[in-house]
Amino acid sequence: MANANNNITKVSAYFSSTNPDIALPKLCSELFLQQQATWQQMAAAYASLEFVRVREIVCNEFTVKVQFNPKRIVSTGADVDPAVINKRKCFLCLENLPKLQLGILYHDNYLILCNPVPIFSRHFTISSTHHVPQDFESSVDAMLDLARDISPDYSVFYNGPECGASAPDHLHFQASPRRVIPIEWDAVDGRRRKRFYYKNHVAGFTLMNYDRTVIIVESSDKNQLLAFIQKMFAEWKKFVRSVKEPMVNILCSYQEDIWRLIILPRRKHRPDVYFKEGNDRVLISPAFVDMGGLIVTPLEKDFLHADAKLVQDIFAEVSENQEVMDNVLEKIV
């Protein structure tokens, strides 16, 4: 893929944190308004959010929201088989973007785009200017910078190549309005947090009674935070005896000079009910948003019939066991 600098027709603005003429959230707002005015498909997609229905499901010790969003069938139903991925045109590569789509060039390496199939009232995709696969360890540094620069308005999240990313072959993040995903509130609830680590300006917590394995890592020191993540992933790969990236969804936010990573370890991409036949099939393909407590359902029957048992069963099935992660975390302490 050509570098975005060589194809400035797709760039509406530039941002570098070393010389920020305008704050990144303001640039994102300006991009959204510009795209809404000039790109009818995108404007219609966000207008349709007014008709999206949401309801709450009370589970054992937490609450989730379920969103009926038919347009998300594109992502939820995406075929991520490598053979299919290799044959289709990458929709995040610069040359394949819609004609009217523009973006903000971030540090020359990423293009911030309005997501044309939104979950949120402001939903951005931040894609690499190069066609390289999803890989958290090689891009976590950029994710931390992005979370800092786009704060306080937005959080940034990453879906692993086998954990909900509909373009696993092209490195990208997404940005959502801060704390619109329920887990962002639960992650700061002192009644849920259990600390397992505090050293070198890095604090680590798990969440209790949550039916999902959650690891929270906080720090005001970027280098120490990066060192912790590097060690954690190295120990994780050793434990599961794999050189591949562990299955994971991650959200990063930045507030009051502190980075917070919410890490959701996974053991499975899609639950068994996703592959059932006929009316027994439930089209829920969990990525960070869903695992974070905002479950997106493109089919009305799933929206209406989802209950606490279904939610808890899906979380338990696709989330990595707490015991596995405890073994990994013990190596770090």
How far apart are the C-alpha atoms of 173 and 175, rounded to whole Å? 7
Position 316: which residue type?
A
SS3 74: helix
**Tokens at 140, concatenated:** 């976590």
Nearest one of 201, 216, 330, 313 to 268, comparing CA atoms: 313
Per-residue pLDDT reduced to its tens digit, 179-190? 999 999 999 999
Record: fold of 4-332: HIT family, subunit A (3.30.428)
Q: Is 330 exposed, middle or buried (0-12, 13-18, 19+ CB in 10 A)?
A: exposed
SS3 255: strand
- Please report, for the chain, the start and end positions of each structural domain, with discontinuous segments joined by +: 4-332
Instruction: Please state the pTM of the whole predicted model.
Output: 0.95
pLDDT at 8: 65
pLDDT at 7: 56
Q: What parts of the chain have a pLDDT lower than 50?
A: 1-6
pLDDT at 102: 97
Per-residue pLDDT reduced to its tens digit, 90-101? 999 999 999 999
Q: How many CB atoms lie within 10 A of CB 271?
A: 19
Q: Does residue 202 contact residue 225 with C-beta atoms inside 8 Å?
A: yes
Nearest one of 145, 116, 111, 148 to 131, comparing CA atoms: 111
pLDDT at 75: 80
Helices (H) and strands (E) in the chain, counts: 11, 14
Helix, strand, coil tally for the chain in percent (to 5): 40, 25, 35
pLDDT at 9: 77
pLDDT at 19: 82
SS3 120: coil
